[in-house]
Amino acid sequence: MRTQLLAAGAAAVACVANGASISEASQPRHLFSRQSLSNATTSNTTLPTSPPFYPSPWMDGSGDWGDAYEKAKAFVSQLTLVEKVNLTTGVGWESEACVGNTGSIPRLGFQSLCMQDSPLGIRFSDYNSAFPAGGTVAASWDRQVWYDRGYAMGAEHNGKGVDVQLGPVVGPLGRAPAGGRGWEGFSPDPFLSGQAVAQTVQGMQKAGIIACTKHYILNEQEHFRQAGESAGFGFNITESLSSNIDDKTLHELYLWPFADAVRAGTGSVMCSYNQINNSYGCQNSHLMNGILKGELGFQGFVMSDWAAQHAGVATTLAGLDMTMPGDTAFDSGVAYWGGNLTLSVINGTVPEWRLDDMVTRIMAAYYYVGRDAPGNVKPVNFNSWSRDEYGYQHAIAKAGYGKINERVDVRRHHAKIIRDHAVRSTVLLKNVDGALPLSGKEKMTAVFGDDAGDNTAGPNGCSDHGCDNGTLAMGWGSGTASFPYLISPLTAIQNEIAKVEGRVEWVTNGWDLTSAQALAAQAEVAITFVNADSGEGFISVDGNIGDRNNLTLWKNGDALIRNVSAVCNNTIVVVHSVGPVILDDYAKNPNITAIVWAGLPGEQTGNAIADILYGRVNPGGKLPFTIGASREDYGADVMYEPNNDADAPQDQFSEGIFIDYRAFDRKNIQPTYEFGFGLSYTTFEYSHIQVAAHTVPAYTPNEGMTAPAMQYGNSSINIEDWQYPADFAPINYYIYPWINGSDAKTASGDANYGTEGSFPAGSQDGSAQPKVRAGGAPGGNPRLYDVVYTIVALVKNTGSIPGDEVAQLYVNLGGLQDAPKILRGFDRITIAPGATVQFTVQLCRRDVMNWNTAIQDWEITADPKKVYVGGSSRNLPLSADLPSLSYA
């Protein structure tokens, strides 16, 4: 076929919310200094600190937020002080139907905002779908999959009356493979994660709900994320773990996908449980004020993780906009905000413009996603705390008995796309002599492993999926959803074999090796299902406190594979896992003819794996992480023991940007299966790389001054004006915005009321402020997203069947501190047998930049830069130099 290199109209991969950059790990660490509003932690003077950034930037309607901003201003201008406070503060854990609800504004008929888990579907609900996990669909490398999945999940939440879906996840990024919640996010590569989060956010919000990108930031492990939770597991710590990081690693690795999410318009961002350089995620002015709202130009609102708020005024001034679930601790009945926020405005510690900005951001997100469109907002029609049709509206108070669950079926056609997405995300790792696909005519098929079958307790039999019984199709914790059904691999394989009246038998008990061997010896093909699970740190499964204790298989999976493959020379291994597992022996074992990684595929897991095994679909997924031969090969690991006496554990991110494939490449370690690897039932060939540099405007820093803060009201500071209404009957445990009594200190219930002394310099200053140099619009300086290079190459399908290839482009930024290569472009392309297609990547300026800590901005260094193109991070047959740019 005829191909035109660099032809106009070629299917270019758009430069949407793109990018990544690399860094030198030699920069001084401890760049941020500790904030001293509360001096909460220790007197250990060697601890890293986080610098102050005040005042909290007010939204300005930049990017495409102008209309939403105008509508929000008009709305907020009508509100009283307590009505504003109501929109910022949750009503308390288990007080309303959702996992989090704000107060309402009855005077205007404005209902409470409903926040609901999770990033893969609706938690605590029914008649909803269970989608593949984020870390699984990352393996599709397919922007359409991400968008469609986001839209479908958003539509389901919308159908239940949810305003904010608590997802997607790009923190954890996936620093350590054993980190418990990596599977909720996408990939330890920031570019891949950034592309996935941008599409997911846009899909979700197109469905008319607000996305909540989380957890900001460096929430990379479960151990020690919360002191109280850790105490429950026998650890004596008084404060959450501190992730200690340098500025360059922050920008070039962990912040990168958050920038993409902001650029894609995420309406909210959730701040995290952990500390960052010894300042809590929800109280860190450098990260919320300085970087998220300043540098990244975030226009939406920052919501706390559940009980991640540890102070009142300090969090308000540091940039938190909404507290969830609203009470200081679950069901404490008291709040850092609510009445306390009302008090802090009338006593002058929180300027009213700051409260106005909080509410304007919340309402702007509401308008930005079109929640005000006619018919879009529905009353919440389910209740998180019960699947019964009748029960208490206010569960914790046992109040408001009535119909709480309308049992609305919101699934539409989603089963179909869930199966398709799971198939597209399946990665074929090994396939000797066409072992796969199976014909379905095998004389005798044997199936092994607990992971093949059903959980005897049912698909939702373990609370928050906190067990590993039966096939693994999602991890555990809050990032889950109820299964409407769960088609196990064994069910699907039986359906397949029954169609042709063949023979299939199984041993699902992974410890019954004698029976397994006896059966395997008779089999023409032995399909062995194995898994490895992890989840959120409030649940421990088999001694794994969220984070995995090891990278080996669960449920006796390794012994099972060894025993089956010892007697069957056509053993096929299927892995359902939350992330990398050790497979090195199986890669080398000649009796193991195929290995498939299927991730956490959701409700259609069995049907999806059958589509791949029986060749109805040619696999095209690629690994979104590295599968190494040992956990020591990865650049970083989970901290399992606290290291700072009883004080906040100090987790030094001293590996810098060198995680996952960057670590393997730097040390030249051979992985078992590299990042970006995946086979097809056909083969591909790469040729003819060409690079074109574009003439672009020079990069110009964002300069000048902002407008002053806007204030949309001038509320009375008379405490008598904000008392509970005389005829009001409060619900137990419920958080309200009113004040109880005319003595402020007594009303606050806070022995330390009024004793905080001075506040950080500038924190109450609403005057025009200098703009942040690397900022300017949502996502940062718009010049970062100029397309500076177009790179094309040809990809040929050299086999005899159609197939999908994920073509990949990596950049070497040329500096001594840079990684050998970093992903900067990819496209999943369907190619007919014998056909050649053009792979096109448009590199943004940011894609070839490094973060310069001295000037606090991105720059293109003078180092010579190269690009590489091929089918995985270690199969890059094409390369070219990047010419230097000329500026218009």
Ligand X SMILES: *[C@@H]1O[C@H](CO)[C@@H](O)[C@H](O)[C@H]1NC(C)=O
Measure the N-to-C terminal CA separation of the chain; round to a whole number of Å. Answer: 37
Residue 115 and residue 163 in contact, taking contact as beta carbons nearer than 8 Å: yes
From the number of C-beta atoms within 10 Å of its C-beta (0-12, 13-18, 19+), residue 428 rates as buried
Site string for ligand X, 571-610 (x = CB under 6 A): ----------------------x-----------------
Provide the pairing of β-strand 787-797 with 684-693: antiparallel
Report which residue's Cβ sits closest to ligand X: 103
- Distance (Å, whole) CA 745 – CA 236: 33
To ligand X, the closest distance from the beta carbon of 781 in angstroms equals: 35
Which of residues 54, 301, 336, 653 is near ligand X by CB under 6 A? 336
Q: Which of 144, 550, 670, 716 binds ligand X (CB under 6 A)?
A: 550
Instruction: Between 605 and 873, name the residue whose CB sits nearer to ligand X.
Output: 605
User: Least distance to ligand X from the beta carbon of 555, Å?
Assistant: 7
Least distance in Å: CB of 336 to ligand X?
5
Give least dist CB 226 to ligand X, A. 16
Contact between 750 and ligand X (CB under 6 A)? yes
400 belongs to the binding site for ligand X (CB under 6 A) = no
Rounded to the nearest whole angstrom, what is the least distance from the CB of residue 458 to ligand X in the complex?
11
Q: Which of 197, 335, 583, 608 binds ligand X (CB under 6 A)?
A: 335
The secondary structure of 358-379 as a DSSP string is HHHHHHHHHHHTTTTSTTT---
Which of 4, 514, 643, 767 touches ligand X by CB under 6 A? 643
Closest CB to ligand X among residues 570, 605: 570
Contact between 439 and ligand X by CB under 6 A: the answer reads no
CA dihedral 452, 457, 463, 465 (to 10 degrees): 0
In the complex, minimum distance from the CB of residue 45 to ligand X, in angstroms, rounded to a whole number = 8
Quick one: tokens of 486? 């769960």
Alpha carbon distance 405, 432 (integer Å): 52
Contact pick of 26, 77, 569, 886 for ligand X (by CB under 6 A): 569
| Among positions 4, 11, 106, 833, the unique one binding ligand X when judged by CB under 6 A | 106
Q: Is 709 in the site for ligand X (CB under 6 A)?
A: no
**Per-residue string for binding with ligand X, 294-313, x by CB under 6 A?**
------------------xx
CB of 188 to ligand X, least distance (A): 21
| Residue 46 binds to ligand X (criterion: CB under 6 A) | yes
Residues identified as active-site: 305
Closest CB to ligand X among 31 and 313?
Answer: 313
Structure tokens at 84: 């504003």
How far apart (Å, rounded) are the C-alpha atoms in residues 160 and 860? 48
With CB under 6 A as the contact rule, the residue among 70, 388, 645, 703 that binds ligand X is 645
Give Cα separations from 675 to 188, 327, 617, 625 (angstroms): 10, 43, 22, 5
| Strand extents, DSSP E, 452-510 | 504-507
**Which residues inside 527-546 make contact with ligand X, applying CB under 6 A?**
541-544
| Residue 344 within binding range of ligand X, rule CB under 6 A | yes
Tokens standing for residue 87: 């929109």
List residues bridging with 627 in a β-sheet. Answer: 673
116 touches ligand X by CB under 6 A: no
- Please report, as residue ranges, which positions from 2 to 41 form the binding site for ligand X (by CB under 6 A): 36, 39
Stretch that binds ligand X, among 197-205, 384-392, 550-558, 690-698 (CB under 6 A): 550-558
CB of 52 to ligand X, least distance (A): 13
The tokens 């194995």 sit on which residue? 530
Q: Which residues contact 588 (CB under 8 A, 6 or more apart)?
A: none
Residue 748 as a binder of ligand X (CB under 6 A): the answer is yes
Q: Does 468 bind ligand X (CB under 6 A)?
A: yes
197 close to 257: Cβ distance less than 8 angstroms: yes
Smallest distance, ligand X to C-beta of residue 355, A: 12
Q: Which tokens is 876 given?
A: 């890059």
Q: Rule CB under 6 A: say whether 463 interacts with ligand X.
A: no
Distance CA 79, CA 146 (A): 38
- CA proximity to 881, closest of 685, 689, 661: 689
Q: Out of 57, 103, 579, 635, which residue is the one contacting ligand X (CB under 6 A)?
A: 103
Q: Which two tokens stand for residue 601?
A: 């595929």
Sign of CA dihedral 409, 411, 412, 416: negative
Q: Which two tokens stand for residue 283?
A: 């109280």
Residue choice 278, 340, 471, 531 for contact with ligand X (CB under 6 A) = 340
Phi, psi of 360 (to 5 degrees): -65, -40
Question: Toward ligand X, which CB reaches closer, 350 or 795?
Answer: 350
Q: Does 349 bind ligand X (CB under 6 A)?
A: yes
* Encoded amino acid at 28, one letter: P
Minimum Å distance from CB 730 to ligand X? 8
Are the beta carbons of 612 and 423 closer than 8 angstroms?
A: yes
Q: Which is nearer to ligand X, 47 or 114 (CB)?
A: 47
Burial 282-298 (b: 16+ CB within 10 A, else e): bbbbbbbbbbbbbbbbb
Among 41, 56, 86, 672, indicate the residue that binds ligand X (CB under 6 A): 86
The residue range among 70-78, 276-284, 287-295, 343-351 that interacts with ligand X, by the rule CB under 6 A, is 343-351
H/E segment holding residue 210: strand 210-216
Q: How far is CA 173 from CA 114, 247, 303, 537, in A?
A: 26, 16, 19, 16
304 and 273 Cβ atoms separated by less than 8 Å? no
Is residue 570 involved in binding ligand X (CB under 6 A)?
yes
Of 13, 22, 99, 105, which one interacts with ligand X (CB under 6 A)? 105
Torsion, Cα 187 263 872 862, to 10 degrees, reads: -120
**Binding of residue 475 to ligand X (CB under 6 A):** no
* Complex with ligand X: residue 333 or 814, whichever CB lies closer: 333
Percentages helix, strand, coil for the chain (3-state, rounded to 5) are 25, 20, 55
Tokens 């950049």 locate to: 811
Q: How far is the CB of 799 from ligand X (least distance, A)?
A: 21
- 8 A C-beta contact, residue 111 and residue 161: no
Q: Could you give the maximum distance between any two Cα atoms of the chain, in Å?
A: 85
476 binds ligand X (CB under 6 A): no
Nearest to ligand X of 92, 779 (CB atom)? 92
Decide: is 718 part of the binding site for ligand X (CB under 6 A). Answer: no
Beta-carbon count within 10 A of 62 CB: 15
User: Are the CB atoms for 717 and 346 separated by under 8 Å?
Assistant: yes
Give the integer Cα–Cα distance in Å for 819 and 22: 7
Site size toward ligand X, by CB under 6 A: 56
Question: For residues 569 and 700, which CB has a smaller minimum distance to ligand X in the complex?
Answer: 569
Among 650, 682, 769, 790, binds ligand X (CB under 6 A): 650
Among 13, 17, 83, 560, binds ligand X (CB under 6 A): 83
Radius of gyration, CA atoms only, the chain: 27
- Which residue, 578 or 823, is less far from ligand X as judged by CB? 578
Shortest Cβ 285–ligand X spacing (Å): 15
886 binds ligand X (CB under 6 A): no
> Is residue 754 close enough to count as binding ligand X by CB under 6 A?
yes
Q: Of the candidates 116, 125, 426, 469, which one interacts with ligand X according to CB under 6 A?
A: 469
- Cα distance between residue 691 and residue 687, in whole Å: 13
Find the shortest distance in angstroms from Cβ 495 to ligand X.
Answer: 24
- Residues near ligand X, by CB under 6 A: 36, 39, 44, 46-47, 82-83, 86, 91, 103-106, 112, 236, 312-313, 328, 334-336, 338-340, 343-344, 347, 349, 456, 467-469, 541-544, 549-550, 552, 554, 569-570, 593, 643-646, 650, 737, 748-750, 753-754, 756-757
